[in-house]
Structure 1
Amino acid sequence: MALLQNNFPTFMQGFGYTLLSSLIALVGSMILGTAFAIMQIVPKKWVRKVGNVYVQVFRNIPLLIITFFFFLVVSKYVKMSGFMSGTIALMLYTSAFIAETVRAGILSIDGGQMEGARANGLSFAQAMQYIILPQAFRVALPSLGNQFINLVKNSSILAFVGGLDLMYQGNMIAANTFETFSTYIIVGILYLIITLPLSYYMQHLERKLKHAA
């Protein structure tokens, strides 16, 4: 296809930025999401309150608004590119959903396991790290896989703030060549190149853990 050949470097640049943003947001949202999931179930009431407020705020504000907040407001005080603004917004937004997923996984584990761990001298943090979380992640894996795939698709939000991602580059190519249909077909295929292997890997990991149980 001539369109792909003529604009291959541009498509690949967008593909690279999308992949990089997705990886950064994925790692960050897993760390934040797990931390806030634990905060929602700790014995201290004020910690639970902070965790609940964080999750409710970022779950119920549109991703576009969060992105614009960092791009238009935060960037006035901290130097921040469109790529960074979109990636941080994507990370915070996704972490709220991951927090709920991980929290549900934790709550599905028999409470007696935590009590037994504490009775044997483990702290709350140790019991959570070595006993509860490994089981919770196994339970939550299918839902986490869906969140990861949604994260990749939601990375297209970077296009609204000049994040140089795949959707942004596709918009530029479509505007310059007027080949809108073909451009977005290519963009869609490039997104599939990221999401399909991720989907198959998560399914494989789920089956592997199920057999190992």
Structure 2
Amino acid sequence: MKKNRLGKFSWLLGLMFVVLFGAVTSAQAATSDQSLARVKAKGTLVMGTSPNYPPYEFQINQHGKSKIVGMDIELGKQIAKDLGVKLVVKKLSFDSLLPALTTGKVDMILSGMSPTPARRKSVDFTNIYYTEGEAILINRTDQAKYKTKKSLAGQKVAAETGTLQYNLIKQQMPASKLTGMSSAANLILALKTHKVAAVVKGTASATAYAKNDPSLIAINGHFKTSTAQAGNAIALKKGSTSLKLAINRSLAKVKKHGWIQKKYLKTAGKYLKVNTADTSMWHYRDYFVKGVQYTLLIAIVGIIGGSILGMLLALLRFSVIKPVRWLATAYVEFVRGTPLMVQIMFVYFGIGMIVDVSALVAGMIAIVLNSAAYLSEIIRGGIQAVDPGQTEAAESLGMSKKATLQYVVLPQTVKIIWPSLGNQFINLIKDTSMVSIIGVTELIYQLGIVQADTYRGVAPIGVAMVIYFVICWLLTRVLRYYERRLNHTNTPVA
């Protein structure tokens, strides 16, 4: 009996030591890192979010102005208030949130994110602030056919890639055909057009979609989730101990007063009614106008900057200095051999770690660098297509190499490559859609926002298609006009 008591006492003493040691270690870590101090020093708490996930975060069109609202936004405001700083919301695609956090673009991710084991390897998480189940969205016409997740065996079931729901389908619905998509808007569109049979989402989001779209219905998924990854938490950069402790204190206060259920969800519900009051595309015209403005700005910068850099690269390819020629060739081959989307993310997240640039500037830089590589090859091919006799004739007249290039070769090169340049310029306008991945509010980004806010999938796509067609058609007319003028000019040297 004494041994038993002694054993219990030893076990209790050991447990107390572990708890005390853990508390001391946490306190030491909190004092050693400067994450909280940095936030307070700059006076802002930058919150990364993907505003296409109602009721957590979404945009509304209120009095002609766009505004990001939702349950997570209200929670972010409270956290910032408790820290004594101002909340700054940064819009990104969901796939770009973790890179933005790890590269310091944002201080925290508050976007309905679940603390999965895979995510915990790269970032830290606060305590769970909201716990919900998982629901399955289906078309109302299929209500009798699909009543449980087992009834979806053999059918396509979709979720956002990289989410808890995606993994749950993989693990607990092995008989179904898993389909991953990058945005909530695309998921709903695929469901409504019967490309997939069901979509798995968090209960709050699924309920919001079902309430605002009579063609959809949400059913209980009855998924099993571990305690470690159930619910939603706030993601922080690894080692942000002091900031994590401060946010956890704020979350504890929110939980104690029940503000998420009593205030934040109700506020989000009121904002949802604002969006569904008028879901016409005309009501969202300002969104598309803003998207066109950014698309044209990026395209114009890309065309001008890409043409100048492309010309320089093309001339360097003809340099007699081998290292210069090799360097220009390597640049062109590397850029043409990597996807534009990867280049955009590298400029924003990679170079952005050294020099802090905005998403718009990063997008324009990536577009210029990418288009320059393709334009340089078009220009180089045009220079090579000029009859060598033209250069020889210019030299026989005593013209310098610079004058020959300027007055003989390049004018004929422009005439030869003009149709190819026109095609590249049109492709460049469409390539601007890639910058939406880092949160630039060009046309495709705005399209996704309108889809999420109006619960309409096809109509916003139709509007965007018409806008792109009009822009490209007008550019084609301009290019053809100048092509006719070039064809009527005389050859400089005969």
DSSP-derived class of the 1:6 partner: coil
User: Larger Rg: 1 or 2?
Assistant: 2
Structure 2 match to 1:189: 466
Q: 1:76-130: per-residue Cα shift (whole Å, max 9, x none)?
A: 1112111111111111111111101011110011223334434544443332122
Structure 1 match to 2:272: none
DSSP-derived class of the 2:386 partner: coil
User: C-alpha displacement at 1:2, in angstroms?
Assistant: 5.8
For the 8 Å contact 2:290–2:443, the answer to whether it is kept is yes
Whether 2:277 is the aligned partner of 1:25: answer no
Higher-RCO chain (CA-CA 8 Å, sequence separation at least 6) = 1
CA distance in 1 between counterparts of 2:397 and 2:308 reads 27
Structure 1 match to 2:485: 208
Structure 1 match to 2:291: 14
CA distance in 2 between counterparts of 1:149 and 1:12 reads 19
Structure 1 match to 2:335: 58
Which residue identity lines up with residue 25 of structure 1 in the other structure?
G
CA distance in 2 between counterparts of 1:125 and 1:66 reads 34
Gaps of 5+ in 1: none
CA distance in 1 between counterparts of 2:404 and 2:488 reads 24
Tell me which of 71, 75, 78 is aligned to 2:355. 78
DSSP-derived class of the 1:3 partner: coil
Which residue identity lines up with residue 10 of structure 1 in the other structure?
Y
Q: Structure 1 stretch 111-120 or stretch 16-25: which is displaced more?
A: 111-120
Tell me which of 401, 415, 437 is aligned to 1:124. 401
Structure 1 match to 2:456: 179
Structure 1 match to 2:445: 168
Q: Structure 1 stretch 82-91 or stretch 139-148: which is displaced more?
A: 82-91
User: C-alpha displacement at 1:205, in angstroms?
Assistant: 1.8
CA distance in 2 between counterparts of 1:122 and 1:65 reads 45
Change (3 A) 1:116 1:48: farther
Q: What's the TM-score, normalizing by structure 1?
A: 0.94
DSSP-derived class of the 2:328 partner: helix
Q: Which is richer in helix?
A: 1
Q: 1:154-211: per-residue Cα shift (whole Å, max 9, x none)?
A: 0001111111101111111111111110001111111122111111221222222223
DSSP-derived class of the 2:281 partner: helix
Structure 2 match to 1:158: 435
Gaps of 5+ in 2: 1-277
Which residue identity lines up with residue 13 of structure 1 in the other structure?
K
For the 8 Å contact 1:3–1:183, the answer to whether it is kept is no
User: C-alpha displacement at 1:141, in angstroms?
Assistant: 0.3
Which residue identity lines up with residue 302 of structure 2 in the other structure?
A
Structure 2 match to 1:103: 380
Whether 2:389 is the aligned partner of 1:112: answer yes
CA distance in 2 between counterparts of 1:163 and 1:143 reads 28
